[in-house]
Amino acid sequence: MSCCDLAAAGQLGKTGIMASDCEPALNQAEGRNPTLERYLGALREAKNDSEQFAALLLVTKAVKAGDIDAKTRRRIFDAVGFTFPNRLLTTKEAPDGCPDP
């Protein structure tokens, strides 16, 4: 079973192998990073802000800002959408423990 098969089956962590150890930076057939594709899927399917934050953190582990092209950057922005960042930027009240704006 390949690393990708283990990851798809949710068994990768049980083997002690990290996804970054076994997946190529780019999938040669598609020209896409399979790890990034999985994380973008998680970002699109996030049900709440916490899941979106977690998925965004994973995306930062899959790509480096200076190493991605405009098409990949656009796919990341499309997965995030505008509602989530807009809501963060227009919040009128600061959460407990944060300074008032």
Q: Give ∠ CA 97-98-101 in degrees, rounded to 5.
A: 145
Query: What is the mean pLDDT of the segment spanning 4-12?
Result: 49
- Tens digits of per-residue pLDDT, 10-68? 554 554 545 444 444 444 334 688 999 999 999 999 999 899 999 999 999 999 888 88
pLDDT computed for residue 65 by the predictor: 85
pLDDT computed for residue 12 by the predictor: 46
Q: Give Cβ neighbours of residue 90 (< 8 Å, ≥ 6 apart).
A: none
Extract the tokens encoding 77: 């922005």
Report yes or no: 26 and 32 within 8 Å, Cβ to Cβ: yes
Query: In 3D, which of 3, 78, 71, 1 has the Cα closest to residue 44?
Result: 78
